[in-house]
Structure 1
Amino acid sequence: MAEAHTFAREVLVRFGDCDPAGIVFYPRYFEMFNNLVEDWCAQGLGTSFRELHGERKLGLPTVNVQADFLAPSRLGDLLRAELSVVKIGGASLTVAIRLLGEDGAERVRATLVLVTMDLAQGRATRIPDAMRTSILQFMPAGAD
């Protein structure tokens, strides 16, 4: 079971996620990562991408991704997607993502660096204080 500082949800591997060999085509995992970040913002931080981008004019682009593909996922698999915050800076944060099979085995492990961006100015901006407070709830004790 995930710890309190981890945001988690289930992800069903769909037909469109798979290549002709019947396994997840690796770029689809990057879509799963982005969907998890979007769900985390809405459900974990209480700020949907619609509100963030539309009303607040803030973006949260991914500026760096590192991923390890450890085992294949297949059509119909139900994965557990987990996100926790590893590091938080002035305008950026680093999140760790794990995708686990139904047996609990890690299928994919990734680290993403996200940056808060002022959409009107097109450049990085400091993470708003209220958002920072929410983000810190997903950071394990002892992390940066």
Structure 2
Amino acid sequence: MSYHRVIPIEFAHCDPAGIVFYPRYAEMVNSMVENFFLDEVRYSFARIMADGFGIPTVRLEVDFHKPSRLGERLEWILRVAGLGRTSAGFHLTAQDRVEASVTVVWIDRNFAPAPWPDQIRNTLEAHHA
């Protein structure tokens, strides 16, 4: 099962040539993960942080295939590619433009890796490819 979301390319994403400045793709990847947790896991990053936990990114790899331009709308697809005791890997694509792999880790109040809570693990397992 995959998660889909459209992200419009806005002025803030672009360099003076009107194409997406490459670090903005990292922001879009993070937005996809954050919104996946909001929409699918039903546990927003705001609530996770308020509860004293976190989900930092520990690895990010991005391949850039084609430029994206101001005014375009990119359809992003997120798939759960791997699931460990404390980590999860996501594979993301934005049409034929960008491909990314990101790994996040569930951390406890002491900023140490901790096992996924059952509710989150169940949702991640349901989305695991």
* TM-score calculated relative to the size of structure 2: 0.97
For the residues of structure 2 that align with 1:13 and 1:113, how far apart are their CA atoms? 24
- 1:136 Cα deviation from its structure 2 partner: 1.2
CA distance in 2, matches of 1:116, 1:37: 13
Post-superposition offset of 1:122: 1.3
Q: Does 1:49 align with 2:49?
A: no
The correspondence of residues 38-117 of structure 1 with structure 2, limited to 5 A, is 38-55=34-51, 57-100=52-95, 106-117=96-107
- String of CA shifts for 1:91-126, please: whole Å, max 9, x gaps: 0011001111xxxxx1000000110011x2011111
Q: Which runs of 5+ in 2 are unaligned?
A: none
Structure 1 stretches of 4+ with a deviation exceeding 2 A read none
- Structure 2 letter corresponding to 1:110: A
> TM-score when scaled to structure 1?
0.87
Where in structure 1 are there 5+ consecutive unaligned residues? 101-105
Question: Which digits, 9 at most, give the CA deviation of each residue in 1:33-80, with x for residues without a partner?
Answer: 11111100000111111111112x211111001110000000000000
Percent of aligned positions with the same letter in both sequences? 35
Root-mean-square deviation over aligned CA pairs: 0.8
Give how far 1:138 is off. Answer: 1.2
For 2:48, what is the secondary structure of its paired residue? helix
Query: Distance in 2 between the 1:32 and 1:132 partners?
Result: 23
Q: 2:28 aligns with which of 27, 32, 49?
A: 32
